[in-house]
Amino acid sequence: MRKVVKFLAAVAAVVVAVGVQQSARAAFVGAPLGLRGAMQYIKFDQPTLAPMAFTIFCLKYKDECKPRPQHIVFRGGRLKLTAERMAQLQEVNQQVNSAIRPEPNLEGLRGEKWLLHPTSGDCNDYAVTKRHDLIAKGFPARSVLLGEVVVPWGEHHLVVVVRTSSGDLVLDNLSGHILPWSKKSYRWVRIQTPNNPTYWASLGDRNA
């Protein structure tokens, strides 16, 4: 009887351990060490034009677009991904996703407004608000970039890319999870450059 009890306890322990590991992977728990080797870095390719709506956004919110002094105190210009930083990323992603009521833009380019902290809006509003909030929390502007993608159903979509020493992460209003950029099933179009937020670039090979 004791052997049966010990065997069942051992099986239960294995089941619990597997469940914990799966939950950790899903929620990015224990990220700094767990992410190493699991992600890739974005390769910036050729300079390209910024989205027209972004140019208008910069006229309205000039402080969001001006180059900031770069104090490079972390390797390669990337942010060290600590447990505290990961918690802040999750907090901002969840707060902004909850605070803004989804409102699709039915007017195309003419209807793009790119507003900070609106009560309702589309992906552009979520993205610029998240970038603003992360920089306000002390994230270097060069490590928090806007990126334009095309989703599987063909629509253009804006996300936030956070460049860390453990890889490039994506904050997305379509998901409550923060994922490596290479794990998103998107076609990447262009992204802000780290040295100057008004300059954008196309992306190189995903395997770079």
Over residues 86-98, the pLDDT tens digits come to 999 999 999 999 9
CA distances, 58 to each of 65, 116, 188, 191 (Å):
6, 12, 22, 15
Give the Cα separation of 140 and 194 in Å (integer).
Answer: 10
> What radius of gyration, in Å, describes the C-alpha atoms of the chain?
20
pTM score of the predicted model = 0.78
**pLDDT exceeds cutoff 90 at 159:** yes
Mean pLDDT of 95-120: 87
Most confident range, picked from 40-54, 74-88, 106-120: 40-54
Read off the pLDDT band of 205 (50, 70, 90): low
Q: What is the pLDDT of residues 174-192, one digit of tens each?
A: 999 999 998 888 999 999 9
Q: How far is CA 115 from the centre of its chain?
A: 18
pLDDT recorded at residue 70: 56
Read off the pLDDT band of 16 (50, 70, 90): very low
Give the Cα separation of 90 and 3 in Å (integer).
Answer: 44
Looking at the DSSP bridge assignments, the partners of residue 145 are 161
> In the numeric block, which tokens belong to residue 103?
């409102």
**pLDDT exceeds cutoff 90 at 99:** yes
Element (H, E) at 25: helix 2-27
Share of the chain above pLDDT 90, in %: 62
pLDDT recorded at residue 27: 37
Give the Cα separation of 82 and 144 in Å (integer).
Answer: 16
CB 161 within 8 A of CB 170: yes
**pLDDT exceeds cutoff 50 at 11:** no
Residue for token pair 């990961």: 86
Single-letter residue type at 163: R
Give the Cα separation of 77 and 83 in Å (integer).
Answer: 19
Torsion of CA 74, 32, 173, 76, to 10 degrees: 20
